[in-house]
Structure 1
Amino acid sequence: MTLLDQHDAVGAPPASRRLPIVIRGGSGAHRALQVALVVVVALVLLGGASAEPFRVGQLTSVLIFAIAISGLNLATGYTGLLSIGHSAFFGLGAYTTGVLVVSYGAAPMSTIPVAVLLCFVLGFVVGLPALRIRGLYLAMVTLAVGVAFPEVVKRFEDATGGAAGLVIRSRHLAPPAWTGLTVGQRGLWLYWVSAAALLLVLLLIRNLTRSRAGIAMIATRDNEIAAAASGVRLATMKTGVFGLSGAVTGLAGSLFAMYVGALSPDGSFTLLKSIELITGLFVGGAATLLGPVIGALAVVYLPYFTSDLASGHVSGVLFGVILIVIVFLMPEGVAGVAGRAVRRLVQISPATGDGPSQPRAERATSPTRESEGDPR
C-alpha cells in the first residue's frame, strides 16, 4: 500500500466506509430483517385495534382508502394510464355490496367477489379506449365515466335508492358468529378485514411488479413503442391492468359500503372522490408500494389537522397549501423520499452472484425509473 492509499484509508470518514449496509438476499440477516418488519406491522395493527372506537374508525378509513389508491397506482403509477374516473369503480363496488345485502339478503363478505368481478369487467371496458388514445385524452374518457356514474345510479332508483341513497341496516352488517363479536363491535371486525385485505393487495402488487408482467407494465409506461418492439402486447397489457386496477378499487368500495352503511351517489362517489384518490397517490408516491398507504393517511388525517388549526374556508385553504408544499418539496412523493433515504443506509443485494452487486430495487428502477425515486 502506498502512502497515498494509506492516507485515503485513514482520512476517509468512518460512516462512508460503513454505509450503506449491504445485506445479501436470503441470508440470515435478510430473514431477520423480514421477521422484524412483520413484527412491526403486527404491533402497529394490534395497537390500532386497541384504540378507542373513533380512532379505530379513522384507521379503518385509512386502510380502505389505501386499497383504493393502490388500485389507481397500478394503472397510473406503474403503467402510466392516467385515470380521473376511479370513483366509478369505487362506487360500483360499494353499490354492488349494498344492493346485494339490502335487496337479496346476501352476507356482506360474500358480496366482495361479485363486486371485484364487476369492477374488473368495467375496468376492462374503460381500458379499451387506451388502445387508441393516451395521456390527457385517456384522462378525459375516464373523467366522463366518473361523472356519469352518479347519474346512472340515480336512474336505477328501484335497486339503488336513487338520489335518496341506500341504507344498509346494522343487523345486516353484523360480524359472523364464529368471530364472537357483537353488532356493537362491527367497527373492530371491519378494521381487521380491511387490514387483511390491504396486506393481500400489497403482496399482490409487490409480486406483480417484480414479475415479467410488472416489467412489461413499466416498459409500457416509459416508452410504448420500445415496449411493443420488445414483444409486449400493449392491448392485453392496458386492458388487463385497467381491469385489475378497477377490481382492486372495487374491493375498497365494497369495504367502504360495509364501513359507512349508507350510500349516496352525490355524497361519496362524485368526481371529488377521484380527486382524493389522485391526491393521495401523488402525495404518498406513485409507483411505490407504500405510497398509497402514506397517501391514505394524508387524505384522512390532514383535514382533521387543518380543521384544528383553522375553521371554515381557511381550513380548506390551509389544506391546499400543505398539499402544494408537499408536492413541491417531494415531487416523487413521501414514499419516494423515504425509500431513497433508506437505500442510503441499507441495501439488499441479489441472493446469487459473486460479491455485492447493485441492489435489486435499483436494478429494477435504473433503466425504467420504476421506483420510489421517480414516480412516473
Structure 2
Amino acid sequence: MSTDLDPTPSAAQEPATPASTRRGPKVVERGSRAHLVMIGASALVALAVIVWGGQLGTFEQGQLTRVAVFAIAIAGLNVATGYVGLLSVGHSAFFGLGAYTTGVLVVRYEWSPLATIPAALLLCLVVGFLVGLPALRIRGLYLAMVTLAFGVAFPEIIGQFEGLTGGSEGMTIRRQQLRPPEWSGFTLGERAEWLYWLSVVMLLLVMLVIHNLVKGRYGMAMIAVRENEIAASASGVNIAVTKTAAFGVSGAITGVGGSLFAMYIGSLFAEGSFTLLAGITLLIGLVIGGEATRMGPLVGAAAVVFLPYYTSELGSGQGAAVLFAIALIAVIFVAPAGVVGGITKLVRRVVVLVPAPRVSAQRGSAPRDPGRRPKKGATG
C-alpha cells in the first residue's frame, strides 16, 4: 500500500498516457477492404499520371518515354542484382543487344518494329543464360568483373560486324520505318505519342511479370539465395537453376528496354549509347530507386533522366557532372536503402500490411484447445 510519502505513486494515481502516444501503426490485412481501397487509390493515381503524360508536349512526353524505357532496363537489372544478389556492371550490353536486334531486323530485314520486341527478348534471354553460367562458380566482385568484361567487349563486338550493324559508323533507322502500325490509330507525325503509350504499356507488363515472379515460389528461392546460399541449398533450392534463370530473365527484360530505346532514338551507335557508362547509369538508377523493390526502378529511371537535365541548367560540362554527383551522394546519404526503401520505412510507421489469417479447411470446426488432452482412443 502506498502512502503520501512514497516517491512513486501507485498505478491508479499515475497520469493517464494519451492514446495518441500509445497507439502504434495501423495493421491492415492483405485482401481486406482497407487494403483493396489502398490498391484502388494507388491505381487511380497511377492512371491519372499516365493520362496526364499523354497530354503533354512532344519534348516532355519524350522525357517520360525515356523514363519508361530506362525503368524497364533497370527492372531487368533488379531481378539479378536486387533479388538474387548477382552484381552486374555490364548490363549495358543487354540493353545494346536488344537495341541492335531491333535495328538490324528493321533496317536489314524490314521487320515491323513492334515484331522485333519478342525477338530481342528471346535473344537476350539466351545470352543472359550464357553470361550467367560463371555465376555458378564465382560471386561478388569476381562476378562483377565478368559482367564488366561483357559490357566493355560489346561495342567492340558490334564493330566487327560492319555489314550487319554498321560498325563504328553506327546504324540509322529511317523515320518511315518507325511508322506506328495502322491498327494503333496513330500517324507517322504522332510517332512520339505512340512510343509513349507503347513504352508505358510495356512497363506495366514488365512490372506485373516481376510482381508475380517475386510473389511466387521462385521469388522466395531468389531471396533465399541472396541471403544465404548454403541455407538455401539445404532447404532444397536449386542454386544453379535459380542463378542462371535469374540472369536470363534479367537480360531478357533489359533487352526489351533496349528494343524500345532503338525505336525512340532511331540512331544506334555502340560507342556512344551502349558503353560501360550506360551500365553504370543503370546501376546508379537501381541504387537510387532501391534494390529489391517494385517501384525502385521507376524512381531510379526518373532520377537518371531528370537529374542530369536539371543539373545541366545550373552548370555546364564538368560542372553539371559534379552537381549530379552531389545530388546522387545526397540521395544515398539520406536514404541508404534507396528512395523507395526509405519511403517504405516511413510508411510502415503508420500502416503495416500483414497476411490474411488462414481459414480452416473444415468449416464450423472449433479450434482445438492446446491444453486439453484428447480422449482415450481418439486419434490426434
Matches of 1:6 and 1:24, distance apart in 2:
37
> For 2:18, which of 1, 12, 21 is the aligned residue?
12
Q: How does 1:26-65 map to 2 (within 5 A)?
A: 26-65=31-70
Matches of 2:12 and 2:293, distance apart in 1:
41
Matches of 2:249 and 2:358, distance apart in 1:
35
1:183 aligns with 2:183: no
Letter of the structure 2 residue corresponding to residue 318 of structure 1? L
Deviations along 1:240-288, one digit per CA (max 9) or x if unpaired, are: 0000000000000000000001100111000000010000000111111
SS across alignment from 1:145:
helix
Structure 1 alignment gaps of length 5 or more: 355-376
Residue in 1 that maps onto 2:141: 136
1:150 aligns with 2:155: yes
Structure 2 alignment gaps of length 5 or more: 1-9, 360-380
> For 2:323, which of 318, 325, 338 is the aligned residue?
318
Letter of the structure 1 residue corresponding to residue 11 of structure 2? L
Matches of 2:149 and 2:264, distance apart in 1:
27
Matches of 2:42 and 2:251, distance apart in 1:
29
- With over 3 angstroms needed to count, the CA separation of the structure-2 counterparts of 1:174 and 1:347, relative to structure 1, is same
> For 1:127, which of 124, 132, 157 is the aligned residue?
132
- With over 3 angstroms needed to count, the CA separation of the structure-2 counterparts of 1:15 and 1:65, relative to structure 1, is farther
Matches of 1:60 and 1:314, distance apart in 2:
27
1:230 aligns with 2:250: no
More helix by proportion, 1 or 2?
1
Residue in 2 that maps onto 1:112: 117
Deviations along 1:192-225, one digit per CA (max 9) or x if unpaired, are: 1111111111111112112111111111111111
Matches of 1:5 and 1:102, distance apart in 2:
84
Matches of 2:46 and 2:320, distance apart in 1:
33
Matches of 1:277 and 1:67, distance apart in 2:
10
Deviations along 1:37-83, one digit per CA (max 9) or x if unpaired, are: 11111000011111111000000000000000000000011100010
Give 1:109 deviation, angstroms. Answer: 0.6
Matches of 2:331 and 2:354, distance apart in 1:
31
Residue in 2 that maps onto 1:368: none
SS across alignment from 1:258:
helix
Letter of the structure 1 residue corresponding to residue 269 of structure 2? S
Residue in 2 that maps onto 1:213: 218
> For 2:351, which of 325, 346, 353 is the aligned residue?
346
Letter of the structure 2 residue corresponding to residue 199 of structure 1? L
Give 1:165 deviation, angstroms. Answer: 0.7
- Corresponding pairs, count: 351
SS across alignment from 1:347:
strand
TM-score with structure 2 setting the length? 0.89
Give 1:36 deviation, angstroms. Answer: 1.2
- Specify the structure having the higher radius of gyration (Cα): 2
Deviations along 1:138-177, one digit per CA (max 9) or x if unpaired, are: 1111111101110111100111011111111111111111
Between the two proteins, what is the percent identity of the paired residues? 57
Deviations along 1:109-157, one digit per CA (max 9) or x if unpaired, are: 1111110000000100000000100101111111111011101111001
